[in-house]
């Protein structure tokens, strides 16, 4: 049985349940990624692959006082690399060619780079995106949590009308 997007909770439904209000510092890219992970958590029982969705802490800013530069150095020493996409779903997928009924496209996993507003990918991000695509991964740049949800839904083939 396939799960369709209509059977999952939306970001707006989640936010309505949370009753979030109040002013805060504008962090649109962060907020969109948080919303994506709220959606994944809420729907992971219906879509178990979502339990594997993970954030990559490569773009974090650790400036300022309180030893935050020490955290950044430790992360770099542990192998965090600049430019790696923000979100990874380590679920390989094979898609059937509807015309031949044979395996068509294969993807090793899904990477998503989250952006906000008019932000563009950096040279380092472009390099990673190219390398990951050449290695057989699907890589997308998304400007909202809903766009990322749509990409994941498409990647996991959740809107297919075919029975398993």
Q: Which domains does the chain have, with CATH numbers?
A: 24-155 (3.40.1350.10)
Q: Which residue blocks in the chain are alpha helix, DSSP H? A: 11-18, 28-43, 68-77, 123-134, 145-155
In this structure, how many other beta carbons lie within 10 angstroms of the beta carbon of residue 101?
8
Q: pLDDT averaged over the chain?
A: 83
Q: Which residue has the tokens 């369709």?
A: 4
The pLDDT tens digits of the residues spanning 52-103 come to 999 998 755 555 555 566 777 888 888 889 999 999 999 999 988 888 888 8
Q: How far apart are CA 72 and CA 65, in angstroms?
A: 12
CB 88 within 8 A of CB 37: no
Q: State residue 97's pLDDT score.
A: 82
- pLDDT greater than 50 at residue 6: no
Question: What tokens were used for 137?
Answer: 């991964």
SS3 state of residue 113: strand
């Amino acid at each position: 049985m396939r799960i369709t997007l209509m059977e999952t909770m939306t970001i707006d439904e989640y936010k309505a349940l949370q009753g979030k209000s109040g002013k805060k510092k504008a962090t649109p890219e962060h907020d969109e990624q948080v919303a994506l992970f709220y959606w994944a958590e809420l729907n992971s029982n219906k879509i178990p692959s979502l339990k594997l969705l993970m954030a990559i802490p490569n773009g974090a800013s650790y400036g300022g006082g309180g030893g935050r530069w020490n955290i950044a150095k430790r992360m770099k020493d542990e192998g965090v690399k600049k430019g790696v996409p923000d979100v990874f779903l380590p679920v390989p997928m094979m898609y059937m060619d509807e015309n031949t009924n044979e395996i068509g496209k294969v993807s090793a996993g899904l990477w998503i780079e989250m952006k906000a507003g008019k932000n563009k990918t950096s040279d380092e991000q472009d390099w990673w995106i190219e390398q990951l695509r050449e290695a057989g991964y699907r890589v997308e740049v998304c400007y909202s949590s809903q766009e990322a949800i749509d990409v994941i839904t498409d990647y996991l083939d959740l809107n297919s009308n075919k029975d398993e």
